[in-house]
Amino acid sequence: MTNPHYALLNQRLQALNATQLVIEDESHLHAGHAGSQGGASHFRVTIVADCFNNQPVIAQHRLVYDLLRDLIPYPIHALALTTRALSKGNS
């Protein structure tokens, strides 16, 4: 069964125009955890995007969290982020 919060997360992150966007639903790993009660989801996300160029990691993460502000802590309880700028010569 597909997590309905996956599609919502993916839709929001499209605003970053990422060259790489990998979203992994880890909710099943947190079954029984207090944060997963009520159907909140846990995700691991990797994003490579031009908009992160010349930005420190904290600024990259703020960009992501600004897009998701109204989704945390519900329906997204936890988000493990890996972000990086698109290196020159990568595509």
CA-based R_g, the chain, Å: 14
Q: CA-to-CA distance for 66 and 28, rounded, in angstroms?
A: 26
Residues of the domain holding 35: 4-85
On whether residue 14 sits in a domain, the answer given is yes
The pLDDT confidence band at residue 36, using thresholds 50, 70 and 90, is low
Question: Cβ of 70: how many Cβ atoms within 10 Å?
Answer: 9
Task: Indicate the pTM of the whole model.
Answer: 0.85
On whether residue 25 sits in a domain, the answer given is yes
| Mean local confidence (pLDDT), 29-41 | 69
What is the sign, positive or negative, of the torsion defined by CA atoms of 50, 19, 41, 12? positive
On whether residue 91 sits in a domain, the answer given is no
Q: CA-to-CA distance for 71 and 73, rounded, in angstroms?
A: 6
38 token code pair: 């009520």
